[in-house]
């Protein structure tokens, strides 16, 4: 089976739209009054959720830009947030059909179907013309893509001169045996972590200039501490959350990820890059 299918099978839920609808009902909302904010606990599938997205976006100059690219967009939560905040069009691309199909419905629920376009496809061979986008970002995607050189060359190709590109990925920090499963892989076969230096090298090889690199370890550990505290205080997680995506495997995947971060084997890291003018 091609590796892309193994990756998208890993993310397959099977009945995701129904699960989200049921969780919305449990939370006392309906699909008619649900907002981009309400969906954030389930449609921002990365460490720190919406807060992490805002932190990355704050370092990118998207306010004057027309068309933004979301690489590995998942359900498109960040894309809906970006279009709401900066009033630009966002195009997302993702390998997992169920995420794209569900994401399109979520766009309709919050009336953003004309502002966000979600495509099914592979980030290393995107169906977009050269220099189509004024900026872009990628949230927790590179962990499943081995060939970072091809990935960043492809992203460089579709960005316009002067575009900025923000990355927020889980990266390899120190050597050591990782405990699986983690949210992006059941075992090492589809876990393709690279170090921040390897990311920077691949970006520079592709033609990017890298201006900043930030290890978000403390933010991540604090995020999970607060999440756990809230969950214990209310006798369980809220209806809508990452457990809606990962089902019963959620606690073990999240706990392993936290332990791997605490051991300094991995960490979420931001990198800000620019396509030189």
- Positions in the binding site for ligand SAM (CB under 6 A): 7-8, 11, 44-46, 72-74, 77-78, 93-96, 99, 122-124, 139-141, 144-145, 183-184
Question: Strands of 89-94's sheet, edge to edge?
Answer: 116-120, 89-94, 67-71, 133-139, 159-172, 266-275, 208-215
Min dist. Cβ of residue 185 to ligand SAM (A): 10
- Choose between 46 and 274: whose C-beta lies nearer to ligand SAM: 46
Cα distance between residue 48 and residue 56, in whole Å:
11
SS3 state of residue 63: coil
- Choose between 188 and 233: whose C-beta lies nearer to ligand SAM: 188
Min dist. Cβ of residue 263 to ligand SAM (A): 21
- Choose between 30 and 35: whose C-beta lies nearer to ligand SAM: 35
Min dist. Cβ of residue 117 to ligand SAM (A): 15
Min dist. Cβ of residue 94 to ligand SAM (A): 4
Cα distance between residue 148 and residue 78, in whole Å:
22
- Choose between 11 and 208: whose C-beta lies nearer to ligand SAM: 11
Cβ–Cβ under 8 Å, residues 64 and 160: no
Q: List the beta bridge partners of residue 120.
A: 94
Cβ–Cβ under 8 Å, residues 149 and 206: yes
Chain position whose Cβ is nearest to ligand SAM: 74
Cα distance between residue 236 and residue 5, in whole Å:
33
SS3 state of residue 267: strand
Cα distance between residue 127 and residue 135, in whole Å:
17
Contacts of 115 (CB under 8 A, 6+ apart): 80, 83, 89, 90, 107
- Choose between 24 and 106: whose C-beta lies nearer to ligand SAM: 106
- Choose between 51 and 209: whose C-beta lies nearer to ligand SAM: 51
Min dist. Cβ of residue 122 to ligand SAM (A): 5
Q: Which residue's entry shows tokens 């933010």?
A: 219
Min dist. Cβ of residue 234 to ligand SAM (A): 24
Min dist. Cβ of residue 205 to ligand SAM (A): 18
- Choose between 7 and 24: whose C-beta lies nearer to ligand SAM: 7
User: In this structure, what token pair is assigned to residue 68?
Assistant: 């933004």
Q: Which residue's entry shows tokens 């970002």?
A: 137
């Amino acid at each position: 089976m091609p590796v892309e299918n193994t990756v998208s099978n890993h993310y397959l839920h099977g009945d995701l739209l129904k699960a989200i609808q049921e969780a919305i009902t449990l939370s006392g909302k309906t699909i008619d009054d649900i907002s981009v904010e309400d969906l954030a606990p389930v449609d921002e599938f990365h460490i720190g959720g919406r807060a992490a997205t805002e932190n990355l976006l704050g370092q990118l100059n998207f306010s004057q830009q027309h068309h933004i690219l979301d690489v590995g967009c998942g359900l498109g939560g960040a894309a809906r947030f970006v279009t709401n905040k900066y009033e630009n069009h966002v195009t997302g691309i993702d390998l997992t059909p169920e995420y794209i199909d569900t994401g399109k419905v979520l766009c309709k629920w919050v009336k953003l179907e004309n502002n966000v376009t979600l495509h099914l496809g592979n980030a290393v061979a995107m169906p977009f013309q050269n220099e189509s986008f004024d900026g872009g970002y990628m949230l927790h995607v590179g962990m499943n893509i081995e060939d970072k050189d091809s990935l960043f060359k492809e992203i460089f190709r579709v960005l316009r001169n002067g575009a900025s590109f923000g990355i927020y990925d889980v990266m390899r920090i120190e050597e050591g045996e990782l405990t699986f499963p983690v949210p992006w892989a059941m075992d090492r076969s589809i876990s393709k972590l690279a170090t921040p230096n390897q990311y920077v090298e691949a970006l520079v090889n592709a033609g990017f200039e890298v201006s900043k690199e930030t290890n978000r370890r403390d933010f991540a550990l604090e995020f999970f501490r607060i999440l756990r505290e809230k969950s214990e205080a209310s006798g369980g997680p809220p209806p809508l959350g990452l457990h809606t995506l990962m089902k019963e495997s959620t606690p073990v995947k999240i706990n392993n990820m936290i332990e791997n971060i605490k051991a300094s084997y991995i960490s979420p890291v931001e990198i800000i890059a620019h396509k030189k003018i």
